[in-house]
A and B are shown apart, each in its own frame.
Chain A
Amino acid sequence: MSEELVQPCARTTRRDALRNIAFGLTTLGGGSLTVEAAQHVHSAVAAERAAGPYRPKAFSEQQWVTLRRLVELIVPADAVSPSALDAGAPEFIDLLASQNPELARIYYGGFAWLDAEMRRRYGKPFASAKTEQQVAMLDALVEAERLLERHSAEEAIYRRGGTYKMFSRYTTQPGTPLAAGVRFFDWVRKMTVDAYYTSAVGIRDLGFVGNTVLSKYEVPVEVVEYALKRSPFGAR
Chain B
Amino acid sequence: MSAEPVDAAAAGARPGSAAREPGAAVQVRGVHRTFGRGRSAVHALRGVDLDVSPGELVALVGRSGSGKTTLLNLVGGLDRPDQGTVLVDGVDVAALGDDEQAELRRDRVAFVFQTFGLMPVLTAAENVGIPLRLRVAPVAERERRVELLLDLVGLAPHALQRPDELSGGQQQRVAIARALAGSPRLLVADEPTGQLDTETGLSVMALIRGVVEAEGMTALVATHDPLMIALADRAVRLVDGRLVGDA
Q: Are these two chains actual partners, yes or no?
A: no
Which A residues have a C-beta under 8 Å from some C-beta of B? none
